[in-house]
Amino acid sequence: MILIGFIKAIINEWDPVDILFHAPDDEYLYEVEEIKCLLKSTKSHSELTQGIQNVFVKSRGNNFIKNTRSECARIAQKILSQ
């Protein structure tokens, strides 16, 4: 079972919309919770990659557009490697 703290650490390190330099440490908590929920139903790396991308596009919109699917794939791999 992947702990929420582990996911939070990965997402905060990634800082996909470059805001943690002036935002609180829990800025991505909504996205972290959504990703944790995805892990319950996700069956593959590809599904998790798409899920991560969808979560951030939904929550951050145009601020997230600059991020590529390959970045989401890298993050999905880090999460799944736990």
The domain that holds 55 is classified in CATH as 1.10.340
Task: Give the pLDDT confidence of 20-79 residue by residue, as tens digits.
Answer: 999 999 999 999 999 999 999 998 999 999 999 999 999 998 777 666 889 999 999 999
The pTM assigned to this predicted structure is: 0.90
From CA 36, how far away is CA 4, in angstroms rounded? Answer: 7
Domain enclosing residue 59, as ranges: 4-80
Please give the tally of structural domains in the chain: 1
Give the DSSP letter string of 10-36: HHHHH-TTS-TTTS-TTTTHHHHHHHH
